[in-house]
Amino acid sequence: MWKRLAELAGWDTEDLGLFQSAFWSAREPYDSGEFDDTDFWSAVLGRRPEPALLTRLRTVDTALWTRTDRRVVTLLDQARRADLPMVLLSNAPHPVSDALDASDWRTLMTDALYSARLGMNKPHPDTYRNALAATGVRDAGRVLFIDDRADNCRAAASLGLRTLHYTGSPAEIHKHLGTDTVAA
């Protein structure tokens, strides 16, 4: 999907690393809601995209971040049936937030907090405080924070949350579920 997005943006796929560098250098203000779609893609492209291209870029970008591993959804369903409160905390711009809210598995979550709506990204400590409050659990040590980025896990751990650096193995999530609260 990265290659498809780079091609759509007019980048040579041989320069995928350069495209990703431009993408990530503008992503933080987009994820926090400081940039809108036009601001973000103008920064990545080096020019303002025409409306049709902007729509296609937004669609492919959203698809990139909303793919779902059905094995993980099965685990979320098991946690929900065990009455574990789960809160989705995601660095996500508005289009990705809207797509995640519309996903079929979103109802498994007690709540969902997105950086664009919060006005701040992980690893800002207040993102974790908001998520912890949304779980309704007072003791941060009873909450398992799962994230695919080690820096986000370190930040959550500094506030007392237990963490799991997710590297793609649903078995790791299953092993950590037990009877604890889960926040993803």
pLDDT number for residue 13: 87
| Tens digits of residue pLDDT in 115-163 | 999 999 999 999 999 999 999 999 999 999 999 999 999 999 999 999 9
pLDDT number for residue 178: 62
Cis omega before residue 123 (within 30°)?
yes
Check the CA dihedral 38-40-100-60 and report its sign. positive
Structural domain boundaries in the chain: 1-65, 70-177
pTM of the model: 0.90
pLDDT number for residue 52: 97
CATH code linked to domain 70-177: 3.40.50.1000
Three-state DSSP state, 162:
strand
In whole angstroms, what is the distance from residue 184 CA to residue 172 CA? 13
pLDDT number for residue 48: 97
Average pLDDT over residues 60-84: 92
